[in-house]
A and B are shown apart, each in its own frame.
Chain A
Amino acid sequence: MNVHVQGCTVATDGTPKPVRRESGQREVFCGLTGIVWLHRKIQDAFFLVVGSRTCAHLIQSAAGVMIFAEPRFATAIMEEKDLAGLNDANDELDRIVAQLLARRPDIRLLFLVGSCPSEVIKLDLSRAALRLSQKFSPAVRILNYSGSGIETTFTQGEDACLASLVPAAPPPTRTSEDQLLIVGSLADVVEDQFIRLFDALGIGRVQFLPPRKAMALPAIGPNTRFLLAQPFLSDTARALEDRGATRLAAPFPLGVEGTTAWLRAASDSFGVAPALFEKVTQNHRVRAERALVRYRDQLGGRRIFLFPDSQLEIPLARFLSRELSMQLVEVGTPYLHREHLAEELRLLPDDVVLSEGQDVDLQLDRCRAARPDLVVCGLGLANPLEAEGMTTKWSIELVFTPIQGYEQAADLAELFARPLVRRAKLVA
């Protein structure tokens, strides 16, 4: 397949970092996978995928190990007659949504989630969402986004979902002051920590997207400034900017350095005195750095190879190299948003090998040739690589674990240390 290595000038301190662009076989999830954590984050929402049996099978293979008394996602499986145009797709959708809402009257927000089959046959779910919203409002709001594999990779499903929420958010009241909005799904405990920190910094009411309840959408307007908590939110950022909101450029809140810079971006923007910033963050910084020491001993100097998965790879690589002294062999990402990651790229070592996209067999060849100490990869590759004698850290866990903020810095380091500790422990 085609490999272009080109000196893309990523804005860094003068040294362009080349990015290897690969196309070929990709071993990644589609955006539908976002449903697996979004259904927990927004508790009164329901996700209805319009797709094929493959889509239904994907979600239940991921989430079906948990036993649900009340499922919060389902698939409207298209059949032969839907494809042949014998059924009016809109009538079918109306019937299914009515059936679903009758069964689950507690649903407040329903997402119609597009898939590869629905996109390929150009089924217009946005109009269906509009029509159904009129029918079921005010009890239920119905929105649409696409989680198809042809358009989205893994965490981009969350991006598409949040971007669909933005137009539904209320306008700000005229007298309202500037608001800080934190964008991206965070663990509840991490959200609470950030609320306390912003509170201590004197930054007023902080809001979150997504909210924990569908009906509690934050107001968005020209007085909204937002911080991205996750690196994969390009469409959401654009939708927010279209409503007049301003993005605060910052690295992502992973590790001590990332969290400090992220908080500082908000503090500077809201005119917090540097002395206050120091005072509020100092104990947290010292404590987190102290907790990181043991992991630096375990991980320092180890060589790590990251396969593309979630777009978290670049911030993670920055944390691993700068705060834990790991050596980066290759940092793969499914998609590189140069503007949102500019602050991160600046902090990476100058000789870093970055790759965007994937040809999985070639990338595996490079990985085997390098024999890194630790490979970060998806679950389709993890056990096979372990069987070849490599130590792996499965990457999906980084999306399902509280890793942001000061108090989680050591937890994040521990996730990478654990497979190495385990390999050293096991005798049989």
Chain B
Amino acid sequence: MQLTVWTYEGPPHVGAMRVATGMEGLHYVLHAPQGDTYADLLFTMIERRDRRPPVTYTTFSARDLGGDTAELFKTAAQNAYDRFKPQAMLVGASCTGSLIQDDPGGLARALDLPVPVVAVDLPAYQRKENWGAAETFYQLVRMLAGPSAPAPGTPRPQRAAGVRARCNLLGPTALGFRHRDDVAEIASLLAKLGIDVNVTAPMGATPADIARLGEADFNVVLYPEIAGQAASWLQRTFGQPFTKNVPIGVSATRAFVEEVARLAGVDASATLASDSTRLPWYSRSVDSTYLTGKRVFIFGDATHAVAAARIASDELGFKVVGLGTYSREFGREIRDAAKRYDVEPLITDDYLEVEAKVAELQPELVLGTQMERHIAKRLGVPCAVISAPVHVQDFPARYAPQMGFEGANVIFDTWVHPLMMGLEEHLLAMFKDDFEFKDGAVPSHLGAAHGAGDAGKPAQPVQMPIAVPEAGAIWAPDAEKELYKIPFFVRGKARRNTERFANENGVATITIETLYDAKAHYAR
């Protein structure tokens, strides 16, 4: 057993759901107990999707365990096909589903459905979400694109003269950190270079689109954690090379542009010459001088962590003091990068270990996941999010890519925002005992009520200046106490309403009764 306060990844079947939900015309039948449908909320709430995920759960309960759970699965799969008529089906089990050993693959084959059925076997007690997504995508690609594969050893035919190069964009899924806008940013960058996108997958692709993957000249792997395995298979089977540079950061985007230009046989000099990102100037301008040498700790999935370290060190002038990942499958990438910055690589999925490391290193900024926010709050350190797992606030309405030249602009603003601004930092160093700008206080541009730095202290009721009511109704102590039971964000309004009510009705002393009389009078 592993004591897990926070988990960096969900179980592998959530990875499979991310692939299925990102696609169109695919349905996933999952053998799972009642309650595992919570995962729908990841998509309908956190990502704010306007449709139910294409997932049917068997939702067995205790009384079904004595009966025929295999029959339950078959009925659910048949019903799902009849109702949704997908182009292909995905079948599998969740962690509890796998314990009862019903073999969803075999059961689905026995139904003899008129569409391809892909069975994904995801070892829930060994593997995690990203592995589940990668495995699911790989199995789908193999099953659906496999039939159009050339005979082994057939060389790739040359592209005819005058035909534009085509690539696939591989890796974006539902619930991916900024996948929506990364795809838009990279697709427009490729268009500038004169390269067409054949298929983007899994996001937005149908099973029929997956079958066409082999038609592209090469593959762009945006997220190696999800698409690496499928891209390797496509290279072996269709002779399609794939990109190794992930375009996060200015230098990485430039390297990526050169790489795709080479693979597509186009000239990238015009694109590279255009001054299409503001990060370099913002970072060189004197206002950023105080960022030099700021000590930063970086943690996330391997792709985002390695990219962040390069930006932090080479493009913003921070000092990387810690670098780690929870993606055990990508330990080597992190170890190589850690050598560059002369730090100890941290490869772990144990939140408590990460917490201990941050506490030990005492960085001035943490770049991490939603989980590092908890750590940063506890330790009172500024923090910005660079990688999944993330929550609802990191699926924003605005255009917010991490990749490409606009992604670099977004990154500059996001990372610098939590840091104290230069002037304030200087004045604090000179005058420590100011009644308002206290040593250790939260940067004033983040607002006084910002929670960091208060860790460990019991929450004090926020004292508000008591407005003296015009006609001078006074608060009885118990009514005042009652007022503090009202959530603070509506407390001020309740106070004003109650006083207004008391004055209008000639009440001299505000009692608990007055408070509720006023509440009922205004009824919010």
B95 touches A96 (CB 8 A): no
Q: Does B268 contact A (CB under 8 A)?
A: no
Partner of A407, one of B100, B391, B455, B520: B520
Interface residues of A in 57-112 (CB under 8 A from B): 57-58, 60-62, 64-65, 67-71, 74-80, 82-83, 87, 89, 92-93, 95-96, 99-100, 103
Q: Does B41 contact A (CB under 8 A)?
A: yes
| Shortest distance from the beta carbon of A356 to any chain B beta carbon, whole Å | 13
Interface residues of B in 442-460 (CB under 8 A from A): 451, 454-456
A380 touches B7 (CB 8 A): no
Partner of A287, one of B35, B56, B374, B516: B516
Q: Does A265 contact B (CB under 8 A)?
A: no
| Shortest distance from the beta carbon of B327 to any chain A beta carbon, whole Å | 15
A residues less than 8 Å from B398 (CB atoms): none
- Binary B-proximity of A46-66 (CB < 8 A = 1, otherwise 0): 000010111011101110110
A27-B40, A65-B392, A76-B4 known; A53 vs B520 contact (CB < 8 Å): no
B62 touches A151 (CB 8 A): yes
Distance, CA A383 to CA B45, complexed state (A) = 8
Partner of A25, one of B42, B45, B58, B486: B58
User: Which of A12-20, A117-125, A175-183, A344-352 has 4 or more CB atoms under 8 Å from chain B?
Assistant: A117-125
| Shortest distance from the beta carbon of A186 to any chain B beta carbon, whole Å | 12
**Interface size of B as a range:** 35 or more
Distance, CA A32 to CA B33, complexed state (A) = 13
Q: Does A149 contact B (CB under 8 A)?
A: yes
Partner of B3, one of A64, A100, A117: A100
Q: Does B429 contact A (CB under 8 A)?
A: no
A52-B11, A387-B51 known; A150 vs B5 contact (CB < 8 Å): no
Q: Does A290 contact B (CB under 8 A)?
A: yes
Distance, CA A121 to CA B37, complexed state (A) = 22
Partner of B451, one of A32, A67, A291, A386: A67
B residues less than 8 Å from A386 (CB atoms): 50
- Binary B-proximity of A145-188 (CB < 8 A = 1, otherwise 0): 00011110100000000000000000000000000000000001
A53-B7, A79-B1, A192-B482 known; A68 vs B65 contact (CB < 8 Å): no
A57-B10, A71-B374, A410-B524 known; A382 vs B44 contact (CB < 8 Å): yes
- Binary A-proximity of B375-386 (CB < 8 A = 1, otherwise 0): 001100000000
User: Which of B122-130, B192-200, B242-250 has 4 or more CB atoms under 8 Å from chain A?
Assistant: B122-130
Q: Does A1 contact B (CB under 8 A)?
A: yes
A71-B5, A116-B96, A380-B37 known; A78 vs B10 contact (CB < 8 Å): no
Partner of A80, one of B4, B11, B126: B126
A61 touches B46 (CB 8 A): yes
B38 touches A62 (CB 8 A): yes
B residues less than 8 Å from A79 (CB atoms): 1-2, 125-126
A414 touches B59 (CB 8 A): no
**Interface size of A as a range:** 35 or more
A69 touches B374 (CB 8 A): yes
A residues less than 8 Å from B95 (CB atoms): 52-54, 116-117
A54 touches B10 (CB 8 A): yes
A291 touches B520 (CB 8 A): yes
Q: Does B48 contact A (CB under 8 A)?
A: yes
A149 touches B5 (CB 8 A): no
| Shortest distance from the beta carbon of B209 to any chain A beta carbon, whole Å | 24
B33 touches A87 (CB 8 A): no
A30 touches B34 (CB 8 A): yes
A65 touches B391 (CB 8 A): yes
User: Which of B75-83, B109-117, B404-412 has 4 or more CB atoms under 8 Å from chain A?
Assistant: B75-83
A52-B11, A57-B11, A189-B486 known; A414 vs B65 contact (CB < 8 Å): no
Distance, CA A288 to CA B521, complexed state (A) = 9
> Which of B37, B58, B126: most chain A Cβ within 10 A?
B37
A30-B35, A99-B3 known; A52 vs B524 contact (CB < 8 Å): no
| Shortest distance from the beta carbon of A295 to any chain B beta carbon, whole Å | 8
B6 touches A64 (CB 8 A): yes
Q: Does B342 contact A (CB under 8 A)?
A: no
A residues less than 8 Å from B377 (CB atoms): 67-69
A96 touches B3 (CB 8 A): yes
A64 touches B49 (CB 8 A): no
A residues less than 8 Å from B64 (CB atoms): 150
Q: Does A313 contact B (CB under 8 A)?
A: no
B50 touches A26 (CB 8 A): no
Interface residues of B in 465-524 (CB under 8 A from A): 482, 485-486, 512-513, 516-517, 519-521, 523-524
B126 touches A379 (CB 8 A): no
Q: Does A361 contact B (CB under 8 A)?
A: yes
A25-B56, A56-B7 known; A93 vs B374 contact (CB < 8 Å): no
B378 touches A120 (CB 8 A): no
Q: Does A247 contact B (CB under 8 A)?
A: no
A77 touches B96 (CB 8 A): no
Q: How many A-B residue pairs have CB under 8 A?
A: 223
B520 touches A61 (CB 8 A): no
Partner of A149, one of B4, B10, B33, B486: B33
> Which of B64, B393, B519: most chain A Cβ within 10 A?
B519
Distance, CA A196 to CA B46, complexed state (A) = 41
B62 touches A74 (CB 8 A): no
Partner of A361, one of B58, B79, B454: B79
Q: Does A29 contact B (CB under 8 A)?
A: yes
B residues less than 8 Å from A67 (CB atoms): 373-374, 377, 451
> Which of A1, A93, A120, A283: most chain B Cβ within 10 A?
A120
A290 touches B52 (CB 8 A): no
B residues less than 8 Å from A100 (CB atoms): 3
A383 touches B10 (CB 8 A): no
Distance, CA A380 to CA B49, complexed state (A) = 10
B35 touches A29 (CB 8 A): yes
B4 touches A56 (CB 8 A): yes
Q: Does A274 contact B (CB under 8 A)?
A: no
| Shortest distance from the beta carbon of A130 to any chain B beta carbon, whole Å | 19
A77-B4, A148-B33 known; A414 vs B524 contact (CB < 8 Å): yes
Distance, CA A382 to CA B52, complexed state (A) = 9
- Binary B-proximity of A367-388 (CB < 8 A = 1, otherwise 0): 0000000000011111110110
Q: Does A294 contact B (CB under 8 A)?
A: yes
Interface residues of B in 145-191 (CB under 8 A from A): none
B residues less than 8 Å from A189 (CB atoms): 482, 485-486
Nearest-neighbor residue (CB-CB) of B127 within chain A: A53
B residues less than 8 Å from A60 (CB atoms): 6-7, 389
| Shortest distance from the beta carbon of B188 to any chain A beta carbon, whole Å | 26
A25-B57, A62-B38, A189-B485 known; A407 vs B519 contact (CB < 8 Å): yes
Partner of A291, one of B48, B96, B393, B523: B523
A32 touches B35 (CB 8 A): yes
B65 touches A54 (CB 8 A): no
Q: Does A341 contact B (CB under 8 A)?
A: no
A residues less than 8 Å from B46 (CB atoms): 61
A-B contact pairs, 19 of them (CB 8 A): A29-B35, A32-B35, A54-B10, A61-B10, A69-B377, A70-B456, A71-B6, A78-B1, A148-B62, A150-B64, A150-B96, A361-B79, A361-B83, A379-B44, A380-B41, A384-B50, A384-B52, A387-B50, A411-B524
Q: A57-B10, A76-B3, A295-B523 are in contact. List 10 more A-B contacts (CB 8 A).
A: A25-B59, A30-B35, A52-B11, A58-B35, A75-B4, A80-B126, A116-B96, A192-B482, A381-B52, A383-B48
- A interface residues with partner B (beta carbon < 8 Å): 1, 24-33, 50, 52-54, 56-58, 60-62, 64-65, 67-71, 74-80, 82-83, 87, 89, 92-93, 95-96, 99-100, 103, 116-117, 119-121, 148-151, 153, 188-189, 192, 196, 283, 287-288, 290-291, 294-295, 361, 378-384, 386-387, 407, 410-411, 414
Q: Which 4 A-B pairs have the closest CB atoms?
A: A149-B35, A30-B35, A380-B40, A387-B50
